[in-house]
């Protein structure tokens, strides 16, 4: 008999240096306990405000035999402490800060100082709290949500040296990115979870970008593995992951679990409707008519539909670590989630046989769960 679907809850305590109101603590604990009890949750991903009372949260979770993973960004959110990414025109990436004050500006992922930031912050702010593991977020290049030039990745000296070492003629890449017709950026095929490109220069470039992210995330993960911590990764939904440099299969070799953010109704960064719109618009503005091509490769009418979701889950099941599909349960203007969407998504996850689901992206904010959703009511079929 197949194992029962497992649940993890995700809790956002605020950005690194946000104020944490201690009067919120009792309410936050009650919300966490309610979700954990309702879904029989095995772990909580929590972060990354340095001022939140993690020891107390962790003690409460331990009473229920629930693990705590520190949710920590890697290549974004570090402001002045991080070295900027540079675009193919030689300019620093523009800052990208969302309405919710979330920083989506991406630093260079090849820079050793940047690679060491997460572990440095952990040592400085989080190491005494008793976390069981670490959950690494923002392990990618910019997406098209930050504009075309940022989405092409980092072209600083150290990143270019990496591409060149892997046989990519980076001057040639910069040259063709300057051409008005950029149809060569349309993926030609899908092999496992990776896209292939007919243009061999671009195919090699995308492979090299992904190798760089894999290598840098592995270095980051190793610093935490050496501290005895388990490793989870937050990645984009498969139709976008490889385009932001994430080779999910390669990264599964050194991770305990991966959470693909298959957010099918979220119109904000990482959400499929948002990423699809920005990718199509930015490509079109830059001489690349991609209309319908990704949908054809995923054999679906929409990248957000149930057919595409099932195909993603089928391919994800083949990787080397557990997969917990991220499911948005937050009620927010830009997130059209509801009971039916949550129910259908949970049923598809259960049917796929992957490990389970991460209740995302913040169970401390208003959600559609608690009294309405729990393990029993979700599985009324």
The contact set with Zn ion (CB under 5 A) reads: 108, 110, 154, 156, 159
The answer to whether 145 touches 269, Cβ cutoff 8 Å, is yes
The answer to whether 8 touches 357, Cβ cutoff 8 Å, is yes
What is the rounded distance in angstroms from the CA atom of residue 343 to the CA atom of residue 31? 20
CA dist list (Å): 351 to 38, 120, 263, 354: 20, 40, 18, 8
Tell me whether strands 6-12 and 356-360 are parallel, antiparallel or unpaired. parallel
**Closer CB to Zn ion, 52 or 139, in the complex:** 139
DSSP string, 109-141: SS-HHHHHHHHHHIIIIIGGG--SEEEEE--S-
| Contact residues for 210 (Cβ-Cβ < 8 A; gap 6+) | 194, 242, 245, 246, 247, 250
Least CB distance from residue 107 to Zn ion, whole Å?
8
**Closer CB to Zn ion, 95 or 284, in the complex:** 95
Least CB distance from residue 208 to Zn ion, whole Å?
12
**Closer CB to Zn ion, 46 or 86, in the complex:** 86
Least CB distance from residue 111 to Zn ion, whole Å?
6
Least CB distance from residue 159 to Zn ion, whole Å?
3
Q: Could you give the residue ranges of the DSSP H alpha helices within the chain? A: 25-39, 54-63, 112-121, 148-151, 157-165, 170-177, 200-225, 238-241, 248-251, 272-285, 293-297, 306-316, 339-352, 375-378
Structure tokens at 247: 């080779």
**Closer CB to Zn ion, 151 or 156, in the complex:** 156
Least CB distance from residue 218 to Zn ion, whole Å?
17
**Closer CB to Zn ion, 110 or 133, in the complex:** 110
Least CB distance from residue 80 to Zn ion, whole Å?
17
Least CB distance from residue 257 to Zn ion, whole Å?
28
The answer to whether 34 touches 3, Cβ cutoff 8 Å, is no
Taking each helix axis from N to C end, the angle separating 200-225 and 157-165, rounded to the nearest 10 degrees, works out to: 110
**Closer CB to Zn ion, 158 or 176, in the complex:** 158
Region of 136 on the Ramachandran plot (φ > 0 left; ψ -120 to 50 alpha; else beta): beta
**Closer CB to Zn ion, 156 or 233, in the complex:** 156
What is the rounded distance in angstroms from the CA atom of residue 226 to the CA atom of residue 136? 15
Torsion of CA 315, 6, 305, 183, to 10 degrees: -40
Least CB distance from residue 158 to Zn ion, whole Å?
5
Least CB distance from residue 162 to Zn ion, whole Å?
8
**Closer CB to Zn ion, 136 or 160, in the complex:** 160
- Reduced to 3 states (helix: H, G, I; strand: E, B; else coil), residue 86 is strand
Write the DSSP symbol of residue 255: -
The answer to whether 68 touches 54, Cβ cutoff 8 Å, is yes
**Closer CB to Zn ion, 142 or 360, in the complex:** 142
Least CB distance from residue 114 to Zn ion, whole Å?
8
Cis ω before 48 (30° cut-off from 0): yes
**Closer CB to Zn ion, 71 or 75, in the complex:** 75
């Amino acid at each position: 008999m197949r194992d029962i679907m497992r649940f993890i809850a995700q809790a956002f305590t605020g950005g690194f240096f946000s104020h944490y109101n201690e009067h919120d603590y009792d309410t936050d604990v009650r919300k966490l306990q309610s979700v954990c009890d309702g879904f029989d949750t095995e772990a909580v991903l929590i972060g990354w405000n340095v001022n939140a009372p993690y020891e107390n949260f962790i003690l409460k979770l331990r009473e229920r035999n629930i693990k705590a993973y520190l949710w920590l960004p890697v290549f974004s959110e570090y402001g002045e402490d991080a070295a900027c990414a540079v675009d193919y025109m030689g300019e620093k990436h523009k800052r990208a800060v969302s309405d919710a004050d979330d920083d989506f500006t991406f630093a260079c992922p090849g820079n050793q100082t940047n690679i060491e930031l997460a572990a440095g912050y952990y040592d400085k702010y989080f190491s005494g709290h008793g976390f069981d593991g670490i959950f690494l977020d923002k392990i990618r290049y910019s997406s098209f949500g930050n504009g075309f030039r940022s989405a092409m990745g980092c072209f600083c000296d150290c990143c270019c040296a990496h591409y060149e070492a892997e046989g990519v003629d980076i001057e040639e890449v910069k040259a063709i990115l300057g051409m008005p017709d950029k149809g060569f950026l349309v993926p030609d095929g899908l092999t496992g979870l990776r896209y292939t490109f007919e243009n061999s220069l671009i195919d090699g470039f995308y492979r090299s970008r992904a190798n760089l992210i894999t290598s840098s995330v592995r270095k980051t993960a190793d610093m935490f593995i050496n501290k005895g911590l388990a490793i989870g990764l937050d990645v984009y939904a498969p139709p976008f992951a490889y385009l932001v440099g994430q080779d999910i299969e390669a990264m599964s070799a050194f991770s305990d679990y991966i959470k693909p953010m298959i957010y099918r109704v979220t119109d904000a960064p990482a959400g499929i409707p948002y990423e699809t719109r920005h990718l199509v618009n930015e490509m079109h503005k830059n001489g690349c008519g991609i209309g319908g091509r990704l949908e054809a490769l995923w054999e679906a009418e929409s990248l957000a539909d149930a057919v595409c979701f099932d195909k993603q889950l089928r391919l994800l099941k083949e990787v080397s670590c557990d997969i917990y599909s991220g499911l948005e349960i937050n009620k927010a203007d830009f997130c059209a989630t509801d009971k039916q969407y949550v129910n259908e998504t949970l049923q598809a996850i259960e049917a796929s046989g992957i490990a389970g689901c991460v209740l995302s992206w913040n169970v401390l904010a208003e959600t559609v769960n608690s009294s309405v959703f729990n393990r029993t009511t979700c599985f009324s079929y």
